[in-house]
Amino acid sequence: MKRVTGIGGIFVKYNDPQATKDWYSKHLGMKMDQYGTTFEWRDSDQPEKKGYTQWSAFETDSNYMEPSKAQFMINYRVENLEELAKLLHEEGVTILDEIETYEYGKFVHILDNEGIKIELWEPIDEIYETLVEGSTK
C-alpha cells in the first residue's frame, strides 16, 4: 500500500498573512485567492490526471496547527486514508482526530516524532479542481 504520494499543501503562520500573500504575488508571481495559491501539476504515472498543492498563509495566533508549537504544517496527499490511519494507529502514531470527509476529500491529523502536526489528505482532485477554478474567477 502506498502511504504518502505527494505534498498536498504547505501552511505557514505569518504576522500579516495578507501582506505576505501580496508580497508573494508581487515578487514571485503567485496568483492569490482568499486562501493563498494553488499549484497544478500532473501525475507522472497518469499524465492525464491533474493534482494540486495548496500554499496558505495563516495568522500567527491561529490554532489550526495545535497542539504543535511549529509555525508551519505540511499536508501530505495519500491514497487510502482509512487504511493508512488504521496502520498508523497500529504502529503507535498519535492520531489527533477522526477522519473528516468533505466533497474534495478526506482528512486526518497526526503528530510526527517531534510533535509537529501533519495533515493527511485523500483528495478528490476532480472536485478540488472545480473549487480552485471557482475561487480564481
- The domain locations on the chain are 4-135
Q: CA 37, CA 9: separation in Å to the nearest integer?
A: 10
Residue pair 122/83 in contact by the 8 Å Cβ criterion: no
Which CATH superfamily does the domain covering 4-135 fall into? 2,3-Dihydroxybiphenyl 1,2-Dioxygenase, domain 1 (3.10.180.10)
> What's the pTM value of the predicted model, to 2 decimals?
0.87
Asked if residues 108 and 95 have their Cβ atoms less than 8 Å apart, the reply is yes
Using DSSP's 3-state secondary structure scheme, residue 100 falls into strand
Burial of 81 (0-12, 13-18, 19+ CB in 10 A): buried
pLDDT in tens, the chain (137 residues): 889 999 999 999 999 999 999 999 999 999 999 999 999 899 888 888 888 899 999 999 999 999 999 999 999 999 999 999 999 999 999 999 999 999 989 999 999 999 999 999 999 877 777 776 766 54
